Amino acid sequence: MTFQTSPTPDAPAHADFRSEAFLRDHIRHTMAFYHPRCIDPAGGFFHYFKDDGRVYDVSHRHLVSSTRFVFNYATAALEFGDEDPALRETYMATVRHGLAFLRERHLDPDSGGYAWTLRDGVPEDTTQHCYGAAFVLLAYSIALKAGVEECRDWMDTHWELLDTRYWEPQHGLYRDEATRDWQFSDYRGQNANMHMCEAMLAAFEASREPRYLQRALTLADHMTRRQAAQCDGLVWEHYDADWQVDTDYHRDDPKHLFRPWGFQPGHQTEWSKLLLILDRHLGDAGMPQPWLVPRARELFDRAVDAAWDPESGGLMYGFAPEALRKDVPGPSLPDGHHFICDDDKYFWVQAESLACAARLAAATGEARYWDWYDRLWDYAWRHMVDHRYGAWFRILDRENRKYDDDKSPAGKTDYHTMGACHDVLAVLRDRG
């Protein structure tokens, strides 16, 4: 069943997508969907919201949402706090509120890890996910940047956990998932390493400690060059314990919500964005890496060339080599070598890709990347942004219709959408 979204003519007029005023207003508008209704006075945040903002599950908590809400409030405090001290005080109190829940409820004092999910404040799923550990580091990092000094020691402790439990020095990457007593599965994934790279960059920006920048570079190099070389230069999602591509993992479920099969265009562009952030920091440190910008350009170009929907607009979710098709359905691409294995439109893919396009435009000076930025924003503005209630719709089908009225289930929080706006603001300010 699908629910028709607002038709294109209902999208209001907007200011220049490239203006600071537009981006800041959009952050405010998105924050207003969540604040203050997301704050649970009993601890932490509510994680499940319908389109109109109603909370539809008050008792369940997910590590990814718990950490991403900290990110949202800390970045908003940094952006708006100087002009509105009272708002900064409110947002920073909420950051501390979220950190307290993370430390008191998610943190497992016996294992040193963090519970993946909670029900009524009690651990429900104690699987130790590297993906979740990445967002713990991100939350601590952005909170430190916003002024929560206690996070510095927590980051040190977390670094030790990551190095002791997750890091595989022989591969130079993080392994993915373990039981509470640290028995790891054979599954390896790029997504956890990508978000760990993101968290390492944030940790460097907050602490200025070189180890975080060096680790981010190692992850980026190994994933986007060494691992991508197994798949003709694109980053595959799934690997075995020896970091060899696993082309059968979830082949029978290419639309799996958390571990889909195939190439994720949004992950190619997200890696591209991280490479560009790395390039800026390494250049500032006098340690340039000439491969970063060309590799970022290639990942973005190939992703949007394959995934842009010429009929309905927006980037589709997944594509794969024709040689791996077998019984997986989906339309062939004009290049004759790939096909679309998931034609849905996800909110985060559009958001991360427009942020990447802005960074590519700034790094290369090529106007075509600003064109991509405007094209992606125009699509999102007409179809993804909920102009009635706020925030972005989560998933649309190929004809840009909603599947349901779940605006923000666990894991969403619009961290991607507001984060993209903060990212582009940084680009505009660096340029100006």
Beta bridge partners of 239: 188, 245
CB of 100 within 8 A of CB of 93? no
Going by C-alpha positions, the residue among 129, 100, 94, 134 that lies closest to residue 115 is 129
Buried b (16+ CB within 10 A) or exposed e, 288-325: eeeebbebbbbbbbbbbebbbbeebbbbbbbbbbeebe
Torsion angles phi and psi, residue 82, rounded to 5: -65, -35
Q: Which letter does DSSP use for residue 383 in this model?
A: I
129 as an active site residue: the answer is no
Element housing 407 (H / E): strand 406-408
416 as an active site residue: the answer is yes
**Strand boundaries in 292-343, DSSP class E:** 318-321, 338-342
Going by C-alpha positions, the residue among 117, 263, 141, 127 that lies closest to residue 197 is 141
Active-site residue identified among 97, 222, 416, 422: 416
DSSP assignment of 262-305 equals SB-HHHHHHHHHHHHHHHHHHHHTT---TTHHHHHHHHHHHHHH
CB of 265 within 8 A of CB of 315? yes
Give me 209's structure tokens: 């400690």
Active-site residue identified among 267, 338, 383, 422: 267
So which residues are the catalytic ones? 267, 416
